[in-house]
Structure 1
Amino acid sequence: MALVGVVIDEMFEDVEYTEPTKAFRGAGHSLLHIGLRSGQLVKGKRKRTLVKIDENISEVDINKLDAILIPGGCSPDHLRGYKSAVKFIKDFFNTGKPVFAICHAPQLLITAQVIEGRRVTGWKSIVQDIKNAGAEYINQEVVEDGNLISSRGPPDIPAFTKASLKRLEEI
């Protein structure tokens, strides 16, 4: 089964973390929570979900991961202010392994400069950011382009999770 790295920080969108990770675990996959400080507890926007960071983003070995999940909310915007997070995303993305990005997650991909020429979707408030980064914005519940699977937000979680699980089966 796959090891999915969850790149996460404070103020993530609770349901964009809880629903996909519940499905991943239910299918037998393992999770590694990756953030700014190992041992740190980060809270979702709704204050209902607490996640303990397993590994510091500047120390995690990308070779041991099979895929990454980037939940939305304010977390991706916060993480993109850290060189270590941007470097990790760029390095991981360039391995060609699956990247599951929902809602505001493309903000981190934009800063890592990895979506130029790609087909991407995301939350409505970052459509212009996606376009300015040189990607083609597609307004649909799930967009698959190479190793990138993206979705717009909470209403798209069932389709996003289904596509992500299908990709994990291929590993």
Structure 2
Amino acid sequence: MPSSSFQVLIPLPDHDFDTTESAVAWQTFVNAGFQVTFATETGRVPACDPKLLDSGFFNPLPAGLEAVSAYRTMTTSTEFNAPITYRDIDINDFDAIHLSGGHAPGMKQYLDSAVLQQRVLDFAKADKLIGAVCHGTLIPARTVDPATGHSIIRGRRVTTLPLPLEKWAFRTTWFRVGRRYRTYWKYTETEIRDAVGPDGTVPRGETKFRWAGLAVADDAPFVVEDGNFVSARYPLDVPVYATTFVRKLHEQKQDSAPTTA
């Protein structure tokens, strides 16, 4: 393994994670020459939200064909089929962590994991790159630094799944798939705003699509960089988010390289 290769960790729940936010990011990292390690709670081989793999009445808002193709390829990789456990994550083995999102109930195993939050705290303390998309931002939001008593994203600039979009997804699909697009009682953006506090911001990007008088979503990718933290809102942002993640890792390496007199 080349010593210059970056080591990226992708933790996932056993099932229900978003196809695009995991596989398109993975594909970008691998194409950049990064070594990727997957992790699940018990080392079980994971599977994405099956409703995202095909369209139909009970499969609203499916993943795009390119994302599904990337997912099929990812599931054949050696690394995907040999995940480590959350408890076995040693941040000294990794340069960065990517936190995918997803809506369905199985995500709670991952989003609520105290063990994973502790590992994310370790990444933050080591000033290593943390990237998160959509519901994945809830993990650092829930990661509290004992030294401050606040979330590690306190005071930061972080984007996430916009409140109007989460409302729209729930209200337009509940009669087909129930509460799958309402993962928690508290909306994602609301929890992120609470975590960043009065000194932080949660930009949504420019909103152009409107539904029932609400600004719902932007048709252009939007990614936010704040130091060693990179965040994005939903699958549309992932290609730009992933290339930003790659660039940030290279920049960190350059910044940490010793200078010669």
Q: Compute the displacement of 1:150 (Å).
A: 0.2
* Structure 1 Cα separation of the partners of residues 7 and 240 of structure 2: 21
Greater alpha carbon shift after TM alignment, 57-66 vs 74-83? 74-83
Q: Give the structure 2 partner of residue 127 of structure 1.
A: 189
Extract unaligned runs of 5+ from structure 1: none
* Structure 2 Cα separation of the partners of residues 53 and 124 of structure 1: 34
Does residue 109 of structure 2 align to residue 62 of structure 1? no
Does residue 90 of structure 2 align to residue 79 of structure 1? no
Contact between 1:35 and 1:53, CA under 8 Å: does it hold in 2?
no
Greater alpha carbon shift after TM alignment, 41-50 vs 51-60? 41-50
Query: What is the number of residues matched between the two proteins?
Result: 170
Q: Give the structure 1 partner of residue 12 of structure 2.
A: 8
* Structure 1 Cα separation of the partners of residues 142 and 111 of structure 2: 6
* Structure 2 Cα separation of the partners of residues 53 and 87 of structure 1: 22
Contact between 1:100 and 1:149, CA under 8 Å: does it hold in 2?
yes
Aligned ranges 1:3-152 → 2 under 5 Å: 3-9=7-13, 10-38=15-43, 40-45=44-49, 46=52, 49=71, 50=75, 51-52=80-81, 54-74=83-103, 77-112=108-143, 113-125=151-163, 126-133=188-195, 134=197, 135-140=200-205, 141-152=222-233
Higher strand content, 1 or 2: 1
Superposition TM-score, scaled by structure 2 size: 0.61
Superposition TM-score, scaled by structure 1 size: 0.91
The one-character-per-residue Cα deviations of 1:47-102 (angstroms, maximum 9, x if unpaired) are 56454352111122111100010111046643232221111111112211111101
Contact between 1:37 and 1:53, CA under 8 Å: does it hold in 2?
no
**Amino acid in the other structure paired with 2:235:** P
Corresponding residue to 1:155 among 206, 231, 236: 236
The one-character-per-residue Cα deviations of 1:113-166 (angstroms, maximum 9, x if unpaired) are 211101000112411111111241011310000110000011111221121111
* Structure 1 Cα separation of the partners of residues 157 and 107 of structure 2: 19
Identity %: 25
Q: Give the structure 1 partner of residue 217 of structure 2.
A: none
Larger Rg: 2
Relative to structure 1, is the Cα distance of residues 102 and 150 closer, same or farther in structure 2, using a 3 angstrom cutoff? same
Give runs of ≥4 in structure 1 deviating > 3 Å.
Answer: 47-53, 74-77
Computed over aligned residues only, the root mean square deviation of the Cα atoms, in angstroms, reads: 1.7
* Structure 1 Cα separation of the partners of residues 96 and 244 of structure 2: 13
* Structure 2 Cα separation of the partners of residues 107 and 116 of structure 1: 13
